[in-house]
Amino acid sequence: MSNSRYQIDVSVQVRYVADQSNADQHHYVFAYSVRVRNEGLVGARLMTRHWRITDADGKVREVRGEGVIGEQPWLAPGESFEYTSGAVLETSVGSMRGSYQMLADDGTLFEAPIEAFTLSAPRTLH
């Protein structure tokens, strides 16, 4: 059951970075821009991140850490935070999904899910 006091909206845009990729060496670089928006009624800080990155061969890499890009942004209700990061795959197609652990101003810890999104080099998905 969702609680409107604690609601974080996460949207992601992906870009293939051709000039850093090399298909002959199975090195595919993707940049992803994330917008984290506090749609809830209580301010909250992004404490940790958890990503699950899966390539086309089914190889899974888990990434966990504090904050994002060296920050632990605090978001008042209605505020957003945007950042760009990257991922490297050995295949031209893959996916990512994950979550942020948030700490609300009232001390409540809650998860902000990040729905799966596709990483795809041009001309690989039809």
* Residue 32 located in a structural domain: yes
Instruction: Quickly state the pLDDT bin for 125 (edges 50, 70, 90).
Output: low
Is 114 within 8 Å of 10 (Cβ atoms)? yes
Range of the domain at 91: 8-118
Task: Compute the distance between CA of residue 95 and CA of residue 30 in angstroms, rounded to an integer.
Answer: 11
Instruction: Between 3 and 96, name the one with better pLDDT.
Output: 96
Compute the mean pLDDT over every residue in the chain, rounded to the nearest whole number: 95
Q: Is residue 99 part of a domain?
A: yes
Contact 47, 72 (CB under 8 A): yes
Put the strands of the sheet holding 28-38 in their side by side order. Answer: 8-16, 28-38, 80-89
**CATH code, domain carrying 80:** 2.60.40.1470
Nearest to 32 by CA among 83, 72, 68: 83
